[in-house]
Amino acid sequence: MKTYQANAQDRERDWYVVDAEGKTLGRMATQIADVLRGKRKPTYTPHVDVGDFVIVINAEKIRVTGKKREDKLYWRHSGYPGGIRSQSLGDLLEHRPEEVIRRAVKGMIPRNRLGRQQLRKLKVYAGTEHPHQAQQPKPLEIET
């Protein structure tokens, strides 16, 4: 019996839409990362991108537990001395709610070329509108 390995010709990519309203950030991000990587498919191959596209809507209405809105900080550095900046989760949700979900999912996929390729299949929108109706996305139920 031979071991099956997926390749670019065999893979089938589906489109899923996730409504983030009322969903917990971390729990939702882990399930989205699994779909992007293709771990929910029987044809999963670790070194081949067999995952599906995921559209997240209502990113501004996610839920976080505890005092994370005030306490959780996102850091960035300009590369210059003294160039470190921080921003709380609450501030980032006000200005760029899409970035919160993108960063949460990014932390759960591999840190290599394959991971960057998988992250490109994530589309996040703050409101309910998205430009991917032509792909006929199926709803993806997120277990809370």
User: Is 25 among the domain residues?
Assistant: yes
User: Is 3 among the domain residues?
Assistant: no
User: Is 53 among the domain residues?
Assistant: yes
Question: For 111-132, what is each residue's pLDDT tens digit?
Answer: 999 999 999 999 999 999 999 9
Region 8-35: mean pLDDT is 95
User: Is 5 among the domain residues?
Assistant: no
Instruction: Say whether pLDDT at 11 is over 90.
Output: no
User: Is 33 among the domain residues?
Assistant: yes
User: Is 74 among the domain residues?
Assistant: yes
User: Is 89 among the domain residues?
Assistant: yes
Residue 58 sits in which domain range?
15-94+105-139
pLDDT-based confidence at residue 10 (cuts at 50, 70, 90): confident
3-state secondary structure the chain: CCCCCCCCCCCCCCEEEEECCCCEHHHHHHHHHHHHHCCCCCCCCCCCCCCCEEEEECHHHCECCCCHHHHCEEEEECCCCCCEEEEEHHHHHHHCHHHHHHHHHHCCCCCCHHHHHHHCCEEECCCCCCCCHHHCCEECCCCC
pLDDT recorded at residue 107 = 97
